[in-house]
Amino acid sequence: MRVNLLGADIDALTMEETVERVAGLIRNYRPFRVMTLNPEYIYQAQFDRELLDLARRADIVTADGEGIVWACRVAGYPVPERVTGIDLMLRLVEKAALCGWSVYLLGAAPGVAAEAADRLCRDYPGLKVAGSYHGFFQEDEEGRVAQEIKKTKPDLLFVALGAPKQEIWIDRHLGKTGASAAIGVGGSFDVLAGRVQRAPHWVRRLRLEWLARLVRQPSRWRRQLVLPLFAWTVIKRYKLKRIAQD
């Protein structure tokens, strides 16, 4: 089932259901896109129609973080749990190692994707890494990067260019890469390569990972100023409207 939040459709799936959905589509379907939708993206999309269209064209859209899970609840269309980029990537890599799917890592600073790939190979023996490439190429090199990926014929292409750059790149180039599926995973390679620390489990269980990220990476505060605006938009659209109608 898909639920609509501020104009974007989100799949009401658990992590395991999302992984099974990907497994069901892989190799026997046209190339498909998985989007991990976060509050910053959906807020920006309220003012940028193209971003909303990109979200609508994605084959699977997950609730990336507690902000989206909360907003879906307020809207009256709850989703079962958050399915973040990094958690989904790890579950898919685990499945890839079991099923023999190959993976390609595109994005992050030079060297980071390769380090992340090494870490994944250590953690998931048998994993086939088709290749990796950094994410700081010029716009006129985009086509060449897609061609390089095509030579390696990956099943899963993880794209870590940050949102919405990764969604735009996937939309333009997935068809040229020969990959079965592309998934935007934001800053996941930095975490896998050990460049950025993820919040400890207990903080994640308390649903405060966003706060820990803000404390550890103060440079994000400007971006996270969007969060109260997102919350207010949700309350206005769903709660206040309902009160006014009652």
**What residues line the site for ligand UDP (CB under 6 A)?**
107-109, 135-136, 160-163, 165, 186-187, 189-190
Check: CB of residue 14 under 8 Å from CB of residue 82: no
In terms of DSSP bridges, do strands 2-5 and 8-11 run parallel, antiparallel, or are they unpaired? Answer: antiparallel
CB of 36 to ligand UDP, least distance (A): 8
Check: CB of residue 92 under 8 Å from CB of residue 102: no
Angle between helices 226-234 and 66-75 (to 10 degrees): 20
Among residues 54 and 161, whose Cβ is nearest to ligand UDP? 161
How far apart (Å, rounded) are the C-alpha atoms in residues 126 and 135? 26
> Residue 141: exposed, middle, or buried by beta-carbon count in 10 A (0-12, 13-18, 19+)?
exposed
How far apart (Å, rounded) are the C-alpha atoms in residues 47 and 50? 9
CB of 246 to ligand UDP, least distance (A): 37
CB of 196 to ligand UDP, least distance (A): 7
Among residues 26 and 85, whose Cβ is nearest to ligand UDP? 85
- Backbone dihedral angles phi then psi of residue 209, each to the nearest 5 degrees: -60, -35
Among residues 41 and 238, whose Cβ is nearest to ligand UDP? 41
CB of 135 to ligand UDP, least distance (A): 2
What is the DSSP-derived secondary structure letter of residue 140?
A: G
CB of 239 to ligand UDP, least distance (A): 27
CB of 110 to ligand UDP, least distance (A): 9
Other beta carbons within 10 angstroms of residue 107's beta carbon come to: 27
Among residues 38 and 152, whose Cβ is nearest to ligand UDP? 38
Among residues 78 and 162, whose Cβ is nearest to ligand UDP? 162
The residue with tokens 């993976």 is 103
Among residues 29 and 136, whose Cβ is nearest to ligand UDP? 136
